[in-house]
Each structure stands twice: as C-alpha cells, then as structure tokens.
Amino acid sequence: MPLISSERITLPFRDRGRQNEFVMKINYTTKRGCFYTKLPEELHGSIGKEVTGETESETRQRFFDALKEYKEADVTEEKVIIYKIEMTASIDNGKDWKHPDYEVVYKEDDLSFVEGIGISLFCDVKIRKEYNTSKFLETEYFETEHTIPQSVTRCDGHFRIKIDKECNVIPWTQEREEFFRRTALALEKMVLNIDKFFSEQDKFLQLVDSGKFLLESPNG
C-alpha cells in the first residue's frame, strides 16, 4: 500500500482550532486495485471512513466531494437537557418472604456495582446539531454554559455515555434547567449530611439512641 501523495488541507466545516487541519494521504492498494484516502473522523458515521477511485485525481476529487456534501447538509440546532437516572434497590412490603402476601414492590438493578440502595443522576445541558442530507443523518452534541452543578455533569472517561442510546433528551427551558440544578444541589446536601452523620461515630450513636432520624420517611 504505497503512499502516492499527501496534502495538508483546512477542513471547511468545523472550528476545531489546530485540529482543523487534516493531511489527506492518497495510497494505492494492489490487493483491491484502486487508489484510496481516509476521510476525517467527522464523516465516518455518515459518509464512510474512506473514498476510493481508479486514479489519483479521481480519488482526490471524491475526497473533496465528500467534504462538500457534509458541509452542505441541512443543519438544525437546538439547546437540550440530557439526563439519566439509574437506581439499584429491592424493596418489599415488609412481610416475611415465606408469607403468602409477601411482595416485592420495587426492584431495579441499574448499578450492578452497588450493594443495597444506590441512586445515580447524570444531567447536562448541550447544543444538539443535526446534519441531514438525502444520504445521511448525523447528530452531534456541543458544550454550552449552564448552571447545573459539576457533580452531576461529570462523565468518567472509562464509561462514556452514549447520549442518544442511554439518556433522555428534552428541549431546554430555563425552568427545566432550574429543576435539575435544584435537584442536584439537594442530592449534594443529602450526601454531605449522610457522610457527616456516619463519620462522627460518637454523635452518630447519640442520635441513633435518641430515636431521631437523619432522613424522614414520606409520612414524617
């Protein structure tokens, strides 16, 4: 697969800073009997990973045709809220499991690495762009300013969230962003209170023995 030519070009459809430059390398493969060049990563999901041609000039032209097609796609832009709530819990009605009226009233196992009860909230505000042509539809998400705490917007690199497959996506409004902001702050406060409660053992035992509760039940 000898390299025939290379050309440094500026991509016309993204403002990616230094990454906006791309080196187009045209190779020839005897196995397939054609010239080919790889396409920028942005085009992989819609147009493909490479273009081929019978000649070097034809391959080069197809490369630029692919860029033009992607650039001229019908683009729609919308501010959205993405969120994902996962829980792990197995809650029964309080009767002995051998009792005929025993019933599990709630059961989820979203967080397989959590013992007991666990709650996970991921939420973020993004700009969603859809690129639509007669040949492809591609969706991308971009960062934007918002007021939601970082505690629920962080995404561990080892567990990359696939937004369209794993999250709920709803149109943004100020009221919806405020709802998730307050929800995140309430969860933060609960975590800090629980941590303080259990980490100070003397106060923990005093409060437990007093009959008071850290978290009230829904009925008070």
CB 6 within 8 A of CB 29: no
* Predicted local distance difference test score (pLDDT) of residue 159: 45
pLDDT of 220 > 50? The answer is no
Nearest to 14 by CA among 47, 43, 36: 43
Range in 34-38, 111-115, 149-153, 160-164 the model is least confident about: 160-164
Which two three-digit tokens encode residue 67? 């860029």
* Predicted local distance difference test score (pLDDT) of residue 17: 47
| DSSP letters spanning 142-207 | EE----S-GGGT---GGG---HHHHSEEEE--HHHHHHHHHHHHHHHHHHHHHHHHHHSHHHHHHH
- Partner residues linked to 82 by β-bridges: 124, 169
Which two three-digit tokens encode residue 111? 């967080």
- Note the pLDDT tens digit of each residue in 132-160: 766 667 788 888 999 999 999 976 544 45
Stretch (H or E) spanning 125: strand 118-132
Q: What is the β-pairing status of strands 3-10 and 21-29?
A: antiparallel
Which two three-digit tokens encode residue 74? 């019908």
* Predicted local distance difference test score (pLDDT) of residue 151: 93
CB 75 within 8 A of CB 51: no
- Band (6; pLDDT cuts 50, 70, 90): very high
53-60 average pLDDT score: 94
